[in-house]
Structure 1
Amino acid sequence: MKRVIFHDLVTLEQAVEALTKFAAPLGEEEVPLEEAYGRVLAKDVVSPVDVPPFDRSTVDGYAVVAESTYGASELTPVELRVVGRVEAGGWPRGEVGPGEAYEVATGAPLPRGANAVVMVEYTQERGGVVRVFRPVAPGENVMTAGSDISAGEVVLRRCTRLTAREVGVLAAVGMRKVAVVKRPVVAIISTGDELVSPGEPLGPGKLYDVNSYSLAAAVAEAGGVPLLFGVVRDVAEEYRGAIEAALSKADVVLISGGTSAGVADLTYRVLGELGDVLFHGVMVKPGKPTLAAVVGGKVVVGLPGYPSSALMIFHTVVRPFLLKLQCREPEPPAVYKARLAVSVEGAKGRRALYSAVLIARGGGYVAYPLYAESGAISVLARADGYFVVPETVEFMTEGEEVEVHLFERYRPAELYFIGSHDPHLDLVMAKWNVKAVYVGSMGGLMAVKRGEADIAGVHMLDPDTGAYNVPFVEKLGIRGVAVVGLYKREQGLIVQRGNPKGVTSVEDLLRPDVVIVNRPRGTGTRALLDLYLRQAAERLGQPFEELVKRIRGYTHEVKTHTAVAAAVAQGRADVGLGVRYAAEMYNLDFIPVGWEEYDLVARLEVLDKALKLAEEALRELPPGYSRYEYSGRIKHKA
C-alpha cells in the first residue's frame, strides 16, 4: 500500500467552514414535554394564555382595597369586615368594597374590587372582623393576570435549547408537546487491530478502546445521539462494510484512527473511493492527520487515534458542526464580568440573585437586571444569566462591576431592544438576532439614553403638545438617536360582550358601579388614559387628583394589554383601556377612543437596521393596526 502524503493542510477555521457548509437541517419532530429537556426548539413558541390567567395572591392574608388600610399601625389598627374566603383552586364569590376584606390563600384568585393583599402576619381576625396593623399599597402581594407571560407573546425563540427553566415556561403556558429539531444520529467507529473493548482481558500489544466511549459522551454532550459500532480491524473489506452500515443508520459518521500516512491506514483511501474528500490534514498540533469527506450527502470525519487528539479535534472541528445541525452555535466561557446598567438593592442579610440580560457594549458588557414577581418564571427564559449581590452588601450602584453566571452559553445579539411590548413586532423580531426586554416606554427611553438599548419601542403621548414620543426624547435630552415612525395602534375601552354596564366614554369610569383595570405609570396607555381623565376633570371643574379617587380600580395596575382584557373577561373589572387586538383575543367588545403612535427610538449607529425592522413590521400588519403614513419615516433626529 502506498504511503499518503499531506499536501494542502487547512486551518482549523477552514476545517470548520468545510463541514458547516453541509449542515443542512435534519427536520423536526414532536416530543412530549417530559422528554423535551436538552432538545432545541424547531419554531417559536407563542403563548396561548396569560400566565397567571387571573390576578392572584402571593401570600396568605386578606384581599382588600388598599386605601382602606392607610393609617394602620400597631397602635391604631384598622378594622375591616370579612366578607368571604377563597382557597387556591377556588373562585371568589362576591366582591370587596371599602372597609371590607376577603380572606385568601397563597395562589388564590383575588375577588372583584380588591387591589392588594395584607399578609396574615399583620392581621388579627375575631368575630368576622379583621384588625390590620400595617398598611399596604395598591398591587402589594398581588400577581396580576399576564404579568408573567402575556397571551400572544413569543415566550421562547426558535433554536433555543430547552433546559429546566424553558421546560417550566412551556408547562406554564400549557404545552403538552413541543416541536424540536431532530437530533443528529452519530455513528462512532474505532479502528485498529490493537484495540479491545473495556471489560475484556488485555493481550500482548492490546489497548482498551477509549475513543468509542469518550466520543459517544462528547456527541451526547453536543446534543447528538451516539451510535457505537465498536472496533473494526485494519482489513479493507471490514472497514468499507462498517462505514457503509454506519452511513445507512446515521446522519454523521466519526472514525477514530487510520487517518495518518502510515501504510496500514485505510480511512483516506476508502473514503476517497466512496465519496469526496473535503480535506486531509489540519494545521494544528495535536490533530494534523484529521480528514473529512462527504459520502452520499453525509459527512464522515476521520479523527486521530490518540484519545486526547481525537477529543481536541472533536471539540474544535466536529462539535461546531453538530451544533449547527441543531440550530445551535459554539459556546464561549460561562462567566462574564459586566457593569450594572441600573442600581440594585441587596437582600438585607441574605444573598440576592438577580437575573440579567447581558449586553455587549464597547468591548465590554452591561448587565441589565430583570425584575419580576416572586412567582414569575418567564424572566428566567429571557435572562442570559444571573449575578450575585453578597449578603453583606445593601446596595449596588449603576456602573459597578458584577460577574454574570450564564444559564446557557452567551451569544451576543445583533440588536438590543428595550421598551414597550408589541406582539406583532415581537413576532417580527423573532426572525432576527434580537434580545428584547420589555420594561415600558419610559424604561426603554432611559435604556437608550444610558446606551444599553439599540432600539426602544415607545408610545408616549405628551399632554402639553398632544404629540407622541418626540417630545419625550427632547425633554430627556437623548442625543444620537432617530425616532422612526412605525404604525398606529387603535386604543379603546375594553368591555364585556354586550357591554352590560353600558360604558360609552371615559366619564363612565367615574360611576360607582363600574370597576376598572389600569396600566402602570410610565406606560403609553396609562399616559393616554390620564390625559382623557384630566380633560374630564376640567369639564367637571374638579382637580384631577380628586377625580381619580372616585374611580374604582384606578390603582389596580397590570403589565400588559392582554392582562387588561383578562381582568374584564373574568369579571374582575368592567372596563379597561387597551388596544383592539387584546379585546379580540378575549372575544370582548371594544369602544374605540383613538389611535396612538407606536414608534422606534433608535441609536443612529443602528438606524439602517431599525429602518429594515420597521419595513418588515409594516409589510404584514394584523387586524387592529393601520399603517403609519409610510414605511420607515424618520420623524425626528437628535
Structure 2
Amino acid sequence: MTKRVIFHDLVTLEQASEVLYKFAKPLGEEEVDISQAYGRVLARDVVAPVDVPPFDRSTVDGYAVVAESTYGASELTPVDLKLVGRVDAGGWPEGEVRGGEAYEVATGAPLPRGANAVVMVEYTQERGGVVRIFRSAAPGENVMSAGSDISAGEVVLRRCARLTAREVGVLAALGIRRVPVVKRPRVGIISTGNELEPPGSELGPGKLYDVNSYSLAAAVAEAGGVPVLYGIVRDEEASYREAITRALSETDVVLISGGTSAGVADLTYRVLGELGDVLFHGVMVRPGKPTLAATVGGKVVVGLPGYPSSALMIFHTVVRPFLLRLQCLEPAPPATYRARLAYGVEGAKGRRALYPVVLIARAGGYRAYPLYAESGAISVLARADGYIVIPENVEFMTEGEEVDVFLFEKYKPAELYFIGSHDPHLDAVLAKRNVKTVYVGSMGGLMALRRGEADIAGTHMLDTETGIYNVPFVQRLGIKNAVVIGLYKREQGLIVQRGNPKGVRGVEDLLREDVVYVNRPRGTGTRALLDIQLAKLAERLGTSFEELTRRIRGYTYEVRTHTAVAAAVAQGRADVGLGVRYAAELYGLDFIPVGWEEYDLVARREALDKALEIVEEALRELPRGYQRYEMSGRIKWEG
C-alpha cells in the first residue's frame, strides 16, 4: 500500500521562486524571419549596418533650395528662383542646385547635391520655369539628413529586449531580415486524475472536465513559452512515469497539475523523487500549499495543485517569473493599486493567503471586494481583477483596512458594479454592457450598496411583517442616496427531475427521508422565501423551525445560483431545490410553482439613469416565468 506523503519544511513563495531562479538559464538562440519576430526576445545586441535614412531626404512636398537664396522672402517681397529639375520618392536627382535655383522634390525624395533646405509647396508658386518663394527657409529646414535617425555602427537594440511593433519597425528600417532571438521554452503540460475528461466529451458520474491543461497552456503562451499538451494521465504509476519521461525528453520544462497533495493516490512526489531530486514540496501559501518542484536530468519539473484556481495562482506567482528568466527577461512586479477592503477576511493561520478581489473604482479611491471561493473554483479568477496578500502572521484583516491589489492584467474600471442576487434573465442583459457582476445574494448586495461598493443591487427579500418586498430592508439598513426600482415578478418553485420520480408536491415533502434537498445561501431572497414556508410548516406541525430544518436532508447543502440548483437536480446530486422557473426549463426539469416574488433593483442616485436603461431592456422581452407588475419600470422608493 502506498504511504501517505507528509509535508515537511514548507518554503515561502520567495524561497520557491529563488530555488527555480537557480535553474533559469537562457536556452540558447535561433534566427527567425522578421515577420515572426513580434513578441520574441533579442539574443544579441543589434548594431546598425546602415544609416537611417541612408541619404538626405525631404520631409515635405516642395522645392529643394540653397537656404541663403530665400533670405528676405515674404508675401510682400517674394524671391524668384529658377526651376532646374524634379525628383520623386524612389528616384535620384540628376544635377545639382546652386544659389538662385530650385529643385522640385516629393516627400521622401533625396535632396539634390548643393541643396540644404526645402521650402514647402504651400509657400511657393511655379510658373514658366520660375518658382516664386513667399517664405524664407533656414538651413536644414524640412530635411532629414543621412544617419540622423540611426547612424551606422550604433547599437540600436540591446539583447534581452522584447520585440514589439516599434522594435520590429527598427529592424525593418535597418534591412535586417533574419533576427537572432532567444529560444522560447517548450513547456510540457500534464494533467493527472482518474476523474478528468477532455472538453467535448460526455461527462459520466463523478467526472470533471480537464481545465488545467488548457488554462495552463494559455498561461504559458502569455509568458512567451510554447505549450505542449500531453493530455490526461490516470493515477496509475506506469503510465504516469511514461508520460513524465516522454515530456522530459521533448520539452525544456514540465508542468504537472494534480497528484501533489498528501493523498494516498498521489504519485508526483514519489515518481519525481525516484527520477531526480525534489527541490521543495509544500509552500506556505493558500491556495497552493502542495506545490512541489524537482529537477530531472537538469530540467525543472513543477507539480501544481489540481484545483484550477490554485494552479493558476501558483503559476502566476512562481512559474511565470521562472519562464520569463529562461527567456532573458526580468520579471516585472505586477501593477498594484492601493485600496480599502470592502469587508473583513481571514488569514491562513501560518500561511500566506492570496485572496482574489474585484477592484472597484470610486471617487474617494478604490475598494477591494474579496471573492470568496473554494480552491476548486475557476470562475473566481475570471471575475477577479487581481489579488491581495494576507501575511502569514495576520489572522484577520478588517473592513476598511488598506491593502495592495496586485493586478492580473491591465485594469479597466467597469461602467457599473452590480452586486446582489443572481437572476438568469437579468444576467443575460448585464452581459451586453461593461458591468462587473458579483452574485452574493440579496442581503449581500444591499450591504455592498450601503458600504459604497455597488452601483446597483438586485434583491427579492420579502418582509414578513409588512408583506412588502425589498423596500423595508433598504430602510432598515439605512441606505442613503438610493432608489428602489420595480423590475418584474419571478415565479419561484420546486425544481425536480423530469417526471418528478419522487412525487414531490410541496415543502412538506422535504421532510421525507428519501428526498435530498439543495439550498441557496443565507442572505438570498430564495433562501428567505424557503425559510418563510418552513416556518409556517413548523407552526402547523407544532415543532420549532430549527428542529424542522434538521430533518431536511441537504438543508445545509448550498449553491450560489438558481442554475446551480437546477444543475444539482439534473445531475442527481439532489432531488429537489427551490429556484426560478427559467432555471428549471434551462435544464429540462419539472417545476412545481410555489408563488411569485418581486425582483427589484436598488441603485445609487448617480447610477439611476443607467439602472433605468437596464430595467427597460430587461422588460422588453420577458421569458416564461417572468411577468410585469404594477411597479415595473417605476420608482418604488427614494431615500
TM-score by length of 1: 0.52
Cα distance, 1:139 vs structure 2: 1.2
Matches of 2:148 and 2:335, distance apart in 1 = 30
Q: CA deviation at 1:178?
A: 1.3
Q: Shift in Å at residue 75 of structure 1?
A: 2.5
CA deviation string 1:574-607 (max 9, x = no partner): xxxxxxxxxxxxxxxxxxxxxxxxxxxxxxxxxx
Question: Does 1:17 pair with 2:18?
Answer: yes
Show CA shifts across 1:487-545 (max 9, x none): xxxxxxxxxxxxxxxxxxxxxxxxxxxxxxxxxxxxxxxxxxxxxxxxxxxxxxxxxxx
Shift of 1:334: 6.4
Mapping of 1:578-593 within 5 angstroms? none
Query: Matches of 1:120 and 1:202 in 2, distance apart?
Result: 73
Paired with 1:247 and 1:191, the residues of 2 have a C-alpha distance of 16
Deviation digits for residues 119-143 of structure 1, max 9, x if unmatched? 1111111111111122222211111
Compared CA separation, residues 108 and 335, structure 1 to 2 (3 A):
farther
1:300-321 residue CA offsets vs partner (Å, 9 max, x unmatched): 0001111111111111111111
Distance across 1 between alignment mates of 2:330 and 2:289: 24
Distance in 1 between residues matched to 2:334 and 2:18, nearest whole Å: 22
Provide closer, same or farther for how the CA distance between residues 92 and 334 of structure 1 changes in structure 2, counting only shifts above 3 A. farther
Find the counterpart in structure 1 of residue 144 from structure 2: 143
Q: Does 1:313 align with 2:347?
A: no
What residue is the counterpart of 1:63 in the other structure? 64
Secondary structure at the residue paired with 1:228?
strand
User: Aligned with 1:214: secondary structure?
Assistant: helix
Q: Which amino acid aligns with 1:331?
A: A
Partner in structure 1 of residue 332 of structure 2: 331
1:257 aligns with 2:230: no
Q: Secondary structure at the match of 1:187?
A: strand
One-letter amino acid of the counterpart of residue 289, structure 1: P
- How far apart are residue 331 of structure 1 and its match? 2.0
| Equivalent position amino acid for 1:158 in 2 | R
- Aligned position for 1:585: none
Structural mapping, 1:95-134, within 5 Å: 95-134=96-135
When residues 335 and 260 of structure 1 are mapped into structure 2, their CA distance, relative to the original with a 3 A threshold, is closer
Unaligned runs of 5+ in 2: 338-408, 411-639
Which residue number corresponds to residue 51 of structure 1?
Answer: 52
Structure 1 CA distance, aligned partners of 2:217 and 2:110? 50
In the TM superposition, 1:548-559 aligns within 5 A as: none
Amino acid of the residue matched to residue 99 of structure 1? G
Give 1:204's aligned residue: 205
Q: CA deviation at 1:333?
A: 5.0
- In structure 2, how many angstroms separate the alpha carbons of the residues matched to 1:35 and 1:60? 35
SS at match of 2:295: strand
1:281 corresponds in structure 2 to: 282
Q: Distance in 2 between matches of 1:71 and 1:285?
A: 77
Q: What is residue 434 of structure 2 aligned with on the other side?
A: none
Where does residue 3 of structure 2 map in the other structure?
A: 2
**Offset at residue 99 of structure 1 (A):** 1.5
Post-superposition Cα deviations, 1:139-198, rounded to whole Å, max 9, x if no partner, equal 111111001100000011111111111111111111110111111110000111111111
Deviations 1:368-394 (A, max 9, x none): xxxxxxxxxxxxxxxxxxxxxxxxxxx
TM-score by length of structure 2 reads 0.52
What code does the residue aligned with 2:280 have? F
Partner residue in 2 for 1:345: none
How far the C-alpha of 1:74 sits from its partner, in A, is 2.2
**1:590 equivalent in structure 2:** none
Opposite residue 297 of structure 1, the aligned amino acid is G
Q: Give the C-alpha shift of residue 70 in structure 1.
A: 2.1
Moved over 6 A (4+): none
Q: 1:596-624 deviations in whole A, cap 9, x for unaligned? A: xxxxxxxxxxxxxxxxxxxxxxxxxxxxx
Deviations 1:64-85 (A, max 9, x none): 1122222222232221111111
Query: Which residue identity does 1:214 align to in structure 2?
Result: S
Local SS of the residue matching 1:218? helix
Identical-residue share of aligned pairs (%): 84
What is the rounded CA distance, in whole Å, between the counterparts of 1:103 and 1:181 in structure 2? 47
Aligned CA distance change for structure 1 residues 332 and 144 (closer, same or farther; 3 Å): farther
Give me the whole-angstrom Cα distance separating, in 2, the residues matched to 1:324 and 1:173.
Answer: 28
Cα 1:326/1:7, change in 2 over 3 Å = same
Q: Distance in 2 between matches of 1:335 and 1:42?
A: 30
The Cα offsets for residues 3-52 of structure 1, whole Å up to 9 and x where unpaired, read as 11111011111111111111222111111111111111111110110000
Q: Which residue does 2:191 correspond to in 1?
A: 190
Name the Cα RMSD after superposition: 1.7
Q: Which residue number corresponds to residue 33 of structure 1?
A: 34
Q: 1 CA distance for matches of 2:330 and 2:305?
A: 24
Correspondence list, 1:343-358, <5 A: none
Q: Distance in 1 between matches of 2:98 and 2:187?
A: 65
Work out which of the two has the higher radius of gyration on C-alpha atoms and give 1 or 2.
2
Equivalent residue of 1:278, what SS? strand
Q: In 1, distance between residues paired with 2:212 and 2:147?
A: 51
* Structure 1: distance between partners of 2:122 and 2:312: 58
Q: Equivalents in 2 of 1:200, 1:137: separation in Å?
A: 74
Q: Note the alpha carbon deviations across 1:389-435, whole angstroms, 9 max, x for none.
A: xxxxxxxxxxxxxxxxxxx99xxxxxxxxxxxxxxxxxxxxxxxxxx
Residue identity in the other structure for 2:130? V
Please give the residue correspondences for 1:516-527 in structure 2 after superposition, counting only pairs within 5 Å: none
Going from structure 1 to structure 2, the CA distance change for 1:334 and 1:170 (only over 3 Å counts) comes to: farther
Rounded Cα–Cα distance in structure 2 between residues aligned with 1:55 and 1:226 = 48
1:233 aligned residue: 234
How far, CA to CA, are the matches of 2:248 and 2:336 in structure 1? 39
Deviations 1:321-358 (A, max 9, x none): 1111111111235699xxxxxxxxxxxxxxxxxxxxxx
Structure with more contact order per residue of length (Cα contacts < 8 Å, sep ≥ 6) = 1
Structure 2 counterpart of 1:173? 174
Letter in 2 for 1:159: C
Q: Distance in 2 between matches of 1:77 and 1:240?
A: 88
Specify the code of the residue in structure 1 equivalent to 2:184. Answer: R
- C-alpha separation in 2, matches of 1:177 and 1:22: 29
The verdict on how the C-alpha distance between 1:298 and 1:45 changes in structure 2, with shifts beyond 3 A counting, is same
SS at match of 1:85: strand
DSSP-derived class of the 1:125 partner: strand
Code of the residue aligned with 1:327 in structure 2: it is C
CA distance in 2, matches of 1:202, 1:32: 44
How far residue 284 of structure 1 moved from its aligned partner, in angstroms, is 1.2
Aligned amino acid, residue 17 of structure 2: V
Structure 1 residue 107 displacement after superposition: 0.5
Find the aligned partners of 1:100 and 1:41 in 2 and give their Cα distance.
48
CA distance in 2, matches of 1:17, 1:334: 21
In structure 1, C-alpha distance between the alignment counterparts of 2:127 and 2:199, rounded to whole Å: 73
1:74 alignment partner in structure 2: 75
Letter in 2 for 1:194: E
**Residues 204 and 11 of structure 1, relative CA distance in 2, 3 Å threshold:** same
For residues 155 and 335 of structure 1, the distance between their equivalents in structure 2, rounded to whole angstroms, comes to 32
Do structure 1's residue 267 and structure 2's residue 268 form an aligned pair? yes
SS at match of 1:88: coil
Aligned residue number for residue 539 of structure 1: none
Unaligned runs of 5+ residues in structure 1 are: 337-407, 410-638
